[in-house]
Amino acid sequence: MSSKQRVGIIGGVRIPFCRNNTAYADVGNLGMSIKTLGSLVEKYGLHGVELGEVAMGAVIHHSSDWNLAREAALSSGLAPTTPGITMARACGTSLDTAIHIGNKIAVGQIEAGIAGGSDTTSDVPIVYGRKLQQRLLATVRAKTPLDKLKTFLRGFSLGELKPHFPGVAEPRTGKSMGDHCEQMAKEWKISRQDQDKLAWDSHQKGAAAYQNGFFKDLVVPFRGVERDNILRPDTSLEKLATLKPAFDKTSGQGTLTAGNSTPLTDGASAVLLGSEAWAAARGLKIQAFLTHAKVAAVDFVHGEGLLMAPTIAVAQMLKDANLTLQDFDFYEIHEAFAAQVLCTLRAWENADYCKNRLGLDAPLGSIDPARMNVNGSSLALGHPFAATGARIVATLAKLLEEKGSGRGLISICTAGGMGVTAILERP
């Protein structure tokens, strides 16, 4: 990221992430966003302050949430003159919003802003088919009450009243993300045991992070919930091994299960970014700096792994930053599925992949597993699609602050065959 001024990560906050249809079943994206933004405003004393922009988004949302960021900002305690922009890139949404705010700060368009995201699979939009839609629109256009009645009833069938729920399949392939990841696991020969081990590690690290107080200033209670209700510190490799395949249920070779895949999750998160001058003027400390970012996409329709785009984005970003894959103290790799993380790591180690797909003379190599997702990640904490990026940014910035100096890498895969990546640094 070429910049006139450095982009500071001041800190973040989120509500506990909850399994869908539990604590937040009746809240919705706006309610969760307001609670999260309001908590961030309170944490940093921003009541009545006009920021350059609030950027938020949601993947699953009602049409009435078209202006989610602005509506949430208006109820957050910020000055009502703070603009808002609503944007989305599937699971990378709130890392994208952080990059968006960061870019504006870097070139001097704004001095500070908030990035975040919210998602719910409990309060989903339920719609009806195009046939009923066209029938209703034609009814509205009819002139008299009798014409309206005739128009509505003409050719009507009860089947038109069948509701349609949001789908999780890729429009281009008709396959779910889990189906695509099963294909990736087979291609890269990722074992069920390795997937279960990564999932178990995530739960253990997440539980330890809560135990040692790491999340105390990052997670604010909401609806009587004080910590992510997906976290299972008492799970075991033996329990995980008993779960049946969740996607490939018939071939006998399926390895993705409910235990090594992220559950449907509700939640919201936000992070405050600012220039050094703005932070200093308000007496706020900067935890880390956003220094580089990259987005990439793969041709999954014609055979590439749907969730492999981060391998490309990271390689390009490392070139931009003149760094190697080993030049990091922390790696925050979003755990959409344990298999996705393991495929990514294996690809970076693979000479053929790095040469033929990434255009490199040598493999990127291995990373130290002790530096990856050190406080757990999405398998244990949950994955509200648009909220994960800001959760990771806030987590990594705090890790770097606690260490005193260092560098961290963020890697997030998304639906649609894309990947969003970033580098945070603390000199």
Tens digits of residue pLDDT in 43-57: 999 999 999 999 999
Distance separating alpha carbons of residues 346 and 368, to the nearest angstrom: 13
User: Kind of pairing, strands 53-56 and 112-119?
Assistant: parallel
Residue 1 confidence (pLDDT): 45
Inter-CA distances, 283 with 53, 286, 377, 395, Å:
20, 10, 31, 21
Catalytic residues: 91, 383, 413
Regions in the chain scoring below 50 on pLDDT: 1-3
> 409 with 332: CB under 8 angstroms?
yes
Angle at 183 between CA 178 and CA 185, to 5 degrees: 90
Q: Any idea which residue has 């329990």 for tokens?
A: 239
User: Kind of pairing, strands 163-164 and 127-128?
Assistant: antiparallel
In the beta sheet, which residues pair with residue 274?
Answer: 8, 112
Tens digits of residue pLDDT in 357-407: 999 999 999 999 999 999 999 999 999 999 999 999 999 999 999 999 999
Q: How far is CA 78 from the centre of its chain?
A: 24
Distance separating alpha carbons of residues 221 and 245, to the nearest angstrom: 34
Distance separating alpha carbons of residues 365 and 278, to the nearest angstrom: 39
b/e 382-411 (16+ beta carbons within 10 angstroms → b): bbbbbbbbbbbbbbbbbbbbeeeebbbbbb
Q: Indicate whether this model's pTM tops 0.75.
A: yes
Burial of 424 (0-12, 13-18, 19+ CB in 10 A): buried
Q: What is the 3-state secondary structure (H, E, C) of 207-268?
A: HHHHHCCCCCCCECCECCECCCCCCCCCCCHHHHHCCCECCCCCCCCCCCECCCECCEEEEE
Domain edges within the chain: 127-164, 177-213+291-426
